[in-house]
Amino acid sequence: MKAGGFSGGWAWLRVPFFLFAALAGWAQGLQSGQQVFRAACAACHGFDGRGADRSTVGFETPLPDFSDCNFASREAAVDWRAIVRGGGPARGFSRIMPAFGEALSREQIEKVVDYLRGFCTDRAWPRGELNLPRPLVTSKAFPEDETVLTTSVNAKGSPAVTSEVVYERRLSAADQVEVALPFRFANPPQGKWAGGVGDLALGYKRMLFHSSRRGSIVSLSGEAILPIGSQTRGFGKGVTVLEGFLTYGQLLPSESFFQFQGGLEAPTHTDDAPRAVFWRSVVGRTFLQGGDGRAFSPMVELLADREFETGAKVLWDVVPQFQVTLSARQHIRANLGVRIPVNQSAGRPVQIMFYLLWDRFDGGLTQGW
């Protein structure tokens, strides 16, 4: 949620009286979210939520447009409440956005946040509550603008390090494109360390359904995995693979959540690689420091893959993990976990997995700390 910056030494003296009247206690008698917004917020943000004129507010920094659904729908209500309660610094924004925690009650803050989020009237945009924490392996249903660097290190078995850069770009309320490129360094038995790129994946995601009331979101995705990695060195499959999968996210009570991904891998030449199905599920819970501060999300993934070959068995893995927000703005996150084979463990290593995630829409890498 972008609150803007501050660029006038004494410009704050020109902020209209109603803003400071709210801070002084006038807002205590206001009942509805609209009343609170008009008394405490409209002086800067405008009665229509699009931002007041620069000559009125007395500073040049652009104000957010709450009617812009691309902006207003992305963050969960807890992030909006954090900024209203603690001011811009609560999420790594400018001090020009004052704190109302002493002037407004918790109920008033909840009402005014509900009101200002209502300026976005296009219901095609899913609310930020449905943007669940990203697991290490399972894909999310929520369309995003994220860059993620994931690294896996073999802790048991043949030494190898695999990193993958994923670039996601949201195109609309429901659509997203994705590019993923892995890099691998391995030391095979009786060999020496070698490295190279893996197979390039190009993907497209389409959100099919979302409901804030039900706490549900469903998306359909397709990927083409192009064989640019060396098959002889174990960096690629040597054949183009087409993937289709469904992703589902569900909010549960007490800040818990469930996610699911299921799909099919279809090589263009089955003589070179078999078809396979996979399904993945995630259960977790998010804890917020102080009620709206740093987020901690322990999760457990259960992964299953089965090739369409005679005698093939389902391969099961479990991945306990822990995600944490690093920046005050919560747009830089890290996740650490361990991928452990549950069955058929011969030749399948235990892996330590880690990622760094950057939500580009919320700011640059150096912003919001």
For 128-362, CATH gives 2.40.160.40
More confident residue, 1 or 196: 196
For 11-117, CATH gives 1.10.760
Q: What is the pLDDT of residues 27-51, one digit of tens each?
A: 566 789 999 999 888 888 989 999 8
- Residue intervals of the chain classified under CATH 2.40.160.40 are 128-362
When pLDDT is cut at 50, 70 and 90, the band that residue 202 belongs to is very high
- Residue intervals of the chain classified under CATH 1.10.760 are 11-117
Average pLDDT value over all residues in the chain = 89
pLDDT (0 to 100) of residue 52: 81
Q: What is the pLDDT of residues 359-369, one digit of tens each?
A: 999 999 999 99
Q: What is the pLDDT of residues 179-201, one digit of tens each?
A: 999 999 887 666 778 888 999 99
Label each residue of the chain as H, E or C. CCCCCCCCCCHHHHCCHHHHHHHHCHHHHCCCHHHHHHHHHHHHHCCCCCCCCHHHHCCCCCCCCCCCHHHHCCCCHHHHHHHHHHCHHHHCCCCCCCCCCCCCCHHHHHHHHHHHHCCCCCCCCCCHHHCCCCCCCCCCCCCCCEEEEEEEEECCCCCEEEEEEEEEEECCCCEEEEEEEEEEEECCCCCCCEEEECCEEEEEEEEEEEECCCCEEEEEEEEEEECCCCCCCCCCCCCCEEEEEEEEEEEECCCEEEEEEEEEEEECCCCCCCCEEEEEEEEEECEEHHHCCCEEEEEEEEEEEEECCCCCCCEEEEEEEEEEECCCCCCEEEEEEEEEECCCCCCCCCEEEEEEEEEHHHCCCCCCC
Q: What is the pLDDT of residues 285-299, one digit of tens each?
A: 999 998 888 999 999
pLDDT (0 to 100) of residue 231: 80
Q: Is the pLDDT of residue 12 over 50?
A: no
pTM of the model: 0.88
pLDDT (0 to 100) of residue 11: 38
